Structures are given as C-alpha cells and as structure tokens.
C-alpha cells in the first residue's frame, strides 16, 4: 500500500504541471511509488529525502554524461524533478532497463 503522503505529493506535482497521473501506481516499494503521466512520462515520488537525493544525483550524472544505456540496459532520461515534493519525472524505457539508482 502506498503512503498517503506520497500520493499527496504526486497529486501536487501533477497539479503544478497540469498533467494527470494514472489512477493507480505503476509500482511501489520501500522507497516510494511510480505513476505514469498524461505526457507519456513516469513520475517517481519518494518516501524519504535521502533516497530521493541519492537517486536524483545518479540521474543527473548519467544525464550530464549523455548515458542512455549501460550495456544492453536502457536508462530513463531525467526530465524534471521537484526537491520539495521529492519527485523525479523521467522518460519511459523498454526492457531490459535499469530504473532504481537510489542505493547506488
């Protein structure tokens, strides 16, 4: 079950950007939850600031280096983020892919 605070932050993010989210999360776990958006992106909202900061830093480094693949694994593009809402918006990828960099 997804924490109510995470759902609240996801809704606030979508409201600020005038996008809609899928009715139910695409997935969720210990770190947070992930939704698809109306602009064909994925929104990941985190439970804790530490996990958010670590994952954002990894996505920023990959983006700055222009890395979209690691071997045969696709890496989603960092599209947007919100430090107050602990939210990262990224592009869709096709399998095989690497999504979780929070513990990297």
Q: Per-residue pLDDT tens for 48-62?
A: 999 999 999 999 999
Is the pTM above the cut of 0.75?
yes
How many domains is the chain built from? 1
Q: Is residue 62 part of a domain?
A: yes
Structure tokens at 33: 């939850």
Contacts of 102 (CB under 8 A, 6+ apart): 31, 46, 51, 52, 54, 55, 58
Q: Is residue 79 part of a domain?
A: yes
Q: Is residue 35 part of a domain?
A: yes
Q: Is residue 104 part of a domain?
A: no
Closest CA to 10 of 43, 51, 56, 54: 43
The CB-based long-range contact list for 23-28 (8 Å cut-off, 24+ gap) reads: 28/2
* Percentage of the chain lying above the pLDDT 70 cut: 94
Are the C-beta atoms of residues 2 and 45 closer than 8 Å to each other? no
The whole-number pLDDT of residue 20 equals 97
Closest CA to 102 of 35, 43, 57, 42: 57
Q: Is residue 101 part of a domain?
A: no
CB atoms within 10 A of CB 101: 17
Residue 64 belongs to domain with CATH number: 3.30.200.20
Structural domain boundaries enclosing 65: 4-91
How does pLDDT run across 16-44, given as a tens digit for each residue? 999 999 999 999 988 899 999 999 999 99
């Amino acid at each position: 079950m997804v924490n109510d605070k995470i759902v609240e932050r996801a809704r606030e993010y979508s409201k600020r950007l005038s996008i809609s989210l899928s009715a139910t999360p695409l997935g969720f776990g210990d770190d947070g939850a992930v939704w698809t958006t109306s602009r064909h992106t994925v929104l990941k909202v985190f439970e804790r600031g530490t996990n958010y900061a670590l994952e954002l830093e990894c996505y920023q480094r990959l983006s700055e280096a222009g890395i979209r693949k690691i071997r045969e694994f696709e890496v989603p593009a960092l599209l947007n983020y919100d430090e107050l809402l602990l939210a990262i918006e990224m592009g869709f990828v096709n399998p095989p892919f690497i999504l979780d960099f929070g513990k990297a």
